[in-house]
Amino acid sequence: MKNYQDQYAKAQKLDNNQLRKLIRSEKFKGQTSGLSKNFLQTNLIILDKNYALDFMIFCQRNPKSCPLVGVTNVGDPFFRTLGKNIDVRSDVPSYNIYKNGELFKLTNNISDLWSEKLIAFAIGCSFTFEHSLIQNGFKIDHIESNKIVPMYKSNIKNKVSGPFKNTMVVSMRIFKKSQVNEVINICQSFHWAHGKPVHVGDPSKIGINEINNPDWGDKPRLLLEDEVNVFWACGVTPQNAILNSDIPFCISHTPGHMLITDIKEDAETPILQ
């Protein structure tokens, strides 16, 4: 555990190129929240080209949870509009492999799985606005403790496109009740990173009955009397849409282990200039 803490502390001091090089060498396999400050981090979905149009429509119909910020060419493993030499086969610390709608295994490199039939999609991530919250004096629990933000399946239904349906996944952070309005004001401008929260308060109102048992990520701490749960739409939503679907094969990032881009987090358009 101490070795991992040391690796994370080292990673916090690296620029994007250095960090991606470390990830590519498989010497850093941890979560990326709190890394690459002021730059956009993204979720990753890789599909057979036959599902590309359905997935793009799914993102268009569900922009809050699936803000699409980049797409590769079919068969090309590089996000050429998001940075310099970003290789989707190796530049994510951990990948989920799905087969027939079920999680098959985790891996740290997918070079042996890449083919000319695949296409990759980058979706904005809430880790991006966390940097701004920290700069404004807020503390983020999972960053402070080097854990993965808790994520939950909600009862908020997605708009269907082809095989993609299911419900929205939300991420949760704890803030003082008196801070909520300021948190909303800071986050709402990050439209490429889910923007303002989708729910504040009682988790059961969005179908979450066990707040201490997240579907992804680490268990949150207990609320203090003057605090409240704040929920954002989450880019893990496509993975929830894939579960129990008939898609034979899909690759994604492992929740919490994101793709680092060279796009400034406050960019009006997520395209490398």
Mean pLDDT value across residues 64-74 = 95
273 falls within a domain: no
The pLDDT assigned to 270 comes to 67
60 falls within a domain: yes
Is the pLDDT confidence value at 7 over 70? yes
- Supply the CATH number for residue 54's domain: 3.40.1640.10
Whether 185 and 208 share a structural domain: yes
Number of structural domains found in the chain:
2
Residue bearing tokens 């009682």:
202
Whether 69 and 152 share a structural domain: no
The pLDDT assigned to 269 comes to 66
**Tens digits of per-residue pLDDT, 152-210?**
999 999 999 999 999 999 999 999 999 999 999 999 888 888 989 999 999 999 999 99
Rounded (5°) CA angle 36-39-44: 90
What are the Cα distances from residue 115, in Å, to 37, 52, 77, 82, 89? 32, 15, 9, 21, 10
Whether 175 and 80 share a structural domain: no
Is the pLDDT confidence value at 272 over 80? no
Whether 105 and 167 share a structural domain: no
The pLDDT assigned to 15 comes to 86
Mean pLDDT value across residues 55-77 = 95
Q: What residue type is assigned to position 194 of the chain? A: H
User: pTM for this structure?
Assistant: 0.91
**Tens digits of per-residue pLDDT, 39-50?**
889 999 999 999
Q: State percent of the chain over pLDDT 90.
A: 70
Whether 210 and 185 share a structural domain: yes
The pLDDT assigned to 17 comes to 86
- Residue 161 has what DSSP assignment? B
Whether 112 and 26 share a structural domain: yes
271 falls within a domain: no
Q: From CA 33, how far away is CA 25, in angstroms rounded?
A: 19
The pLDDT confidence band at residue 3, using thresholds 50, 70 and 90, is: low
What are the Cα distances from residue 92, in Å, to 7, 30, 102, 250? 16, 10, 20, 15
Range of the domain at 142: 127-237
142 falls within a domain: yes
Q: From CA 108, how far away is CA 99, in angstroms rounded?
A: 17
Backbone CA torsion sign across 131, 134, 138, 143: positive
The pLDDT confidence band at residue 246, using thresholds 50, 70 and 90, is: confident
Mean pLDDT value across residues 76-98 = 94
Whether 166 and 227 share a structural domain: yes
Is the pLDDT confidence value at 6 over 60? yes
Return contacts of 219-224, CB within 8 angstroms, 24+ apart.
219/150, 220/141, 220/150, 220/172, 220/174, 221/141, 221/174, 223/174
Whether 131 and 199 share a structural domain: yes
Whether 258 and 232 share a structural domain: no
The pLDDT confidence band at residue 267, using thresholds 50, 70 and 90, is: low
Q: What residue type is assigned to position 146 of the chain? A: N
The pLDDT confidence band at residue 4, using thresholds 50, 70 and 90, is: low
As beta bridge partners, residue 178 has none
CA 254, chain centre distance (Å): 9
Whether 157 and 29 share a structural domain: no
Sequence-distant (≥ 6) Cβ neighbours of residue 28 within 8 angstroms:
7, 11, 19, 22, 93
200 falls within a domain: yes
What is the average pLDDT score of the chain? 91
Whether 94 and 206 share a structural domain: no
Residue bearing tokens 């690796």:
7
136 falls within a domain: yes
Q: State percent of the chain over pLDDT 70.
A: 96
**SS3 string of 210-257?**
CCCCCCECCCCCCCCCCEEEEEEECCCHHHHHHCCCCCCEEEEECCCC
Is the pLDDT confidence value at 273 over 50? no
The pLDDT assigned to 230 comes to 97
What are the Cα distances from residue 134, in Å, to 5, 16, 77, 138, 170? 20, 19, 33, 5, 20
The pLDDT assigned to 57 comes to 97
Sheet arrangement for strand 199-200: 151-157, 167-176, 227-233, 199-200
- Supply the CATH number for residue 156's domain: 3.30.2040.10
